[in-house]
Amino acid sequence: MTQNEYLRGQRISPKPITGKETVAELVENAFLAYNAGRLAEGCRLFAERMLEDDVTVGMSLTGAMTPAGLGMSTMIPLIEAGFVDWIVSTGANLYHDAHFGLGMAMHRGTPFADDVVLREEGVVRIYDIFFDYDVLLSTDRFVREVSARSEFQRPMSTAEYHYLLGGYVLEREKALGLSRKSVLGAAHAAAVPIYTSSPGDSSIGMNVAELALSGSQLRFDVSADVNETSAIVFFAKVHGGKSGVLIIGGGSPKNFVLQTEPQIQEVLGISEKGHDYYLQLTDARPDTGGLSGATPSEAVSWGKVDPDKLPGTVVAYLDNTVAFPILASYALARRKPRKLKRLYDRRTEMMRELTDSYLEAKADRDARAEAATGGGAPNLK
C-alpha cells in the first residue's frame, strides 16, 4: 500500500459535544479510535449490513445480563424490531429473566456489602444487584409446576421448552398487568427460538432434573439443538440469504452459535463456507486460551466464518453492560424494523431441507468410497 492508501481514513476532527447528541450521533462523532472505534465499526456493521432483509441474525448471550435489566432495556426491543432471529443463551440468563415476567423485584445494591450479613438477611447478590432469596424459591416453583404439565412430558429441544415456558411467563405477565418484561415472553410472541447450549447448567435445568426423580418424561434433546441451529443457518444460506452472528460475551453459547457451520461442512458433509458476518462484544483477551477471546480470523480456520467475508467481522473489547445498549440504540435509530422471520414456526421445514441435503451428501460420499475400494469392504487397519 502507498502512503495515500494508508491515509484514506476519516480525518479525526470531531465536533464538540454539546449534551444534545443522540446516542447514534455520539457514536458517529466521538467514537473514533481504540475500542470506541471498534464499537462504532460494529454499530455500522450491524445496522448497515447485518440487518439487511436477507440476513438471518443469530445472537449468543453470556454473563449475567438479564439480572441487570438488559433483557427489558435491550434484548426485547431488538427482538420486537426483528433485529434478532434466533438466540443461544446461558440458562442462567433465562432463569433470571423469568423473575421479571413473574412480577418479582431485583434491586440496585452495592458490590461492597458483607456477604455473610446478606446471607443472614436472606438477600442474594449478583455483584451490585440485590434480591430476596424468595425470588429464587418462587421462580423454582413456577418452573417446576409448568414443566410438570402434560405438554412437557416428552423429549424436546431447548427451543421447544423455552417456547412453551415463555408462553406461560407471558400469561403471567398479562395476569399481573405487566408488559414487555421477559425475554422468554417476547421471544414466544415473536416466534424467536431460544436455545441453551448447556441446559443442565442453570436453575431451570436443576428444576427439570428434580422432576425427573419423580417420574417426569421431560428430557432436553441436545442432538435436536445441534441439528435445529444448523438447519436455521443452512436454510438462510441455501435460499440465497446470509448468516450473521451477534456475540454478546463468549463461552459455550458463542461456540454453539458458531459451530453450526462446522456441523454443516465437517460433520454433515454439505458444501458451505461459513457465517457471513461476525460481531462480538467481549472483555476477554484472545491470548489466554479462553473461547470468549477467540478471534474471527481464528474461527475462519475452523470453517465457522467465511474467509472471503473476514472484512465483515468486528470485535470490540468492552463491558457488555455498556456496549450492548449502545449498539442496540444505534441500530434502532438507524434502521427501520424488519419483518419477523418467526423461525420457531419454520423448524420442521428447515429440518427437512437440512436432512434431505445431508442424505444426498452422504449417499454421494458412500458411492465415492465404494468406488475407491472397488466395491469391497473398507480397510480399517
Nine-digit cell at 186? 417476547
Q: What is the pLDDT of residue 380?
A: 54
Q: Taking the chain (381 residues) in consecutive chunks of 10 residues, what is each chunk's mean pLDDT?
A: 86 95 97 96 96 98 96 98 98 97 97 97 97 97 98 98 98 95 97 96 96 97 97 95 94 92 93 90 80 69 73 88 98 98 98 96 90 67 47
Rg of the chain (C-alpha set):
23
The candidate with the shortest Cα–Cα distance to 122, out of 109, 110, 136, is 136
Q: Which CATH number fits domain 17-366: 3.30.1330.10, 3.40.910.10, 3.30.590.10, 3.50.50.60?
A: 3.40.910.10
**Collapsed DSSP state (helix, strand, coil) of residue 231:** helix
pLDDT in the model for residue 381: 47
As given in the structure block, the three cell numbers for residue 170 are 407471558
Global model pTM greater than 0.85: yes
What contacts 320, CB < 8 A, 6 or more positions away? Answer: 63, 65, 70, 248, 249, 281, 282, 283
CA 24 to chain centre: 23
- State the pLDDT at residue 379: 56
Q: Residues 6 or more apart from 160 whose CB is under 8 A from it? A: none
- Tell which residue, 30, 56, 24, has the closest CA to residue 43: 24
Domain ranges of the chain: 17-366
With a CB cutoff of 8 Å and minimum separation 6, the contacts of 279 are: 42, 45, 46, 50, 244, 245, 246, 247, 313, 314, 315
DSSP 151-188: GGSSEE-HHHHHHHHHHHHHHHHHHTT--S--HHHHHH
Residues 247, 58: contact at Cβ < 8 Å? no
For the annotated catalytic residues, the residue numbers are 304
Question: Are 73 and 329 within 8 A, CB to CB?
Answer: no
pLDDT score recorded for residue 298:
73
What residue type is 48 in one-letter code? Answer: E
